[in-house]
């Protein structure tokens, strides 16, 4: 199921990870209370990887089952936004001079060449980090390595977890800052201008910038 849910090109990139995915799927389907739901776990891998120009790297899904949708930092339209997402939208507005509506949905970025990837694709309800040791890190870091070996892209590394992963990859451009969580946003995320800096880096690579409007 998980392997088949990926775009065919991702399946080609990650053929050597099929057994790991199968093992992860088996473990999860024997559990109750994991999030997001099984049909959303691989959502970040549904689109053509060749179109990816920017990666935004998160740690694991929001622990609220109403929030987790398989895309890092994104939540369903109509749900109250977690503070980290509010802070991302605040910085987006400031950086790009974009008006943010109540219905703003960063999941739309996934259709514009942005990979919204958590390093752990699942967790347990109300238990952040519950699946940090399940095996997802090996899978997602392998996916990032295969991606960065094939094409130039920009990686937005927010917080120490993302920074540590970025340093193990050969990425054309890494833009680091503090994490947008309420504990750290005021210590280096606000004012870091990640969106305009990513677009400038893409232009320098000869690529079209991202349309960040929501």
Q: Which residues are catalytic?
A: 60
DSSP code for 127? B
SS3 of 129, please?
Answer: coil
How open is the CA angle 90-46-178, to the nearest 5 degrees? 30
Residues 6+ apart with CB under 8 A from 18: 3
CA 184 to chain centre: 19
Q: How far lies 31's CA from each of 35, 63, 68, 128, 196, in Å? A: 10, 16, 17, 16, 42
């Amino acid at each position: 199921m998980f392997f088949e849910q990926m775009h065919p090109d991702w399946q080609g990139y990650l053929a050597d990870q099929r057994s790991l995915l199968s093992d992860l799927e088996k473990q999860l389907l024997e559990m109750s209370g994991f999030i997001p739901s099984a049909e959303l776990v691989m959502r970040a891998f549904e689109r053509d990887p060749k179109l990816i120009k920017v990666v935004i790297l998160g740690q694991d899904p929001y622990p609220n089952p109403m929030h987790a949708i398989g895309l890092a930092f994104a939540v369903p339209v109509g749900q109250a936004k977690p503070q980290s997402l509010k802070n991302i939208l605040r910085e987006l507005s400031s950086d790009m001079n974009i008006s943010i509506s109540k219905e703003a949905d960063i999941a739309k970025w996934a259709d514009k060449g942005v990979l919204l990837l958590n390093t752990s694709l699942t967790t347990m309800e109300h238990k952040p980090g519950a699946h940090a040791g399940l095996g997802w890190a090996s899978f997602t870091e392998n996916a990032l390595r295969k991606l960065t070996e094939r094409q130039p892209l920009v990686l937005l590394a927010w917080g120490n977890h993302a920074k540590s992963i970025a340093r193990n990859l050969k990425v054309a451009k890494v833009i680091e800052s503090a994490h947008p969580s309420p504990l750290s946003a005021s210590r280096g995320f606000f004012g870091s201008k990640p969106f305009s800096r990513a677009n400038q880096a893409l232009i320098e690579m000869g690529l079209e910038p991202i349309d960040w409007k929501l």
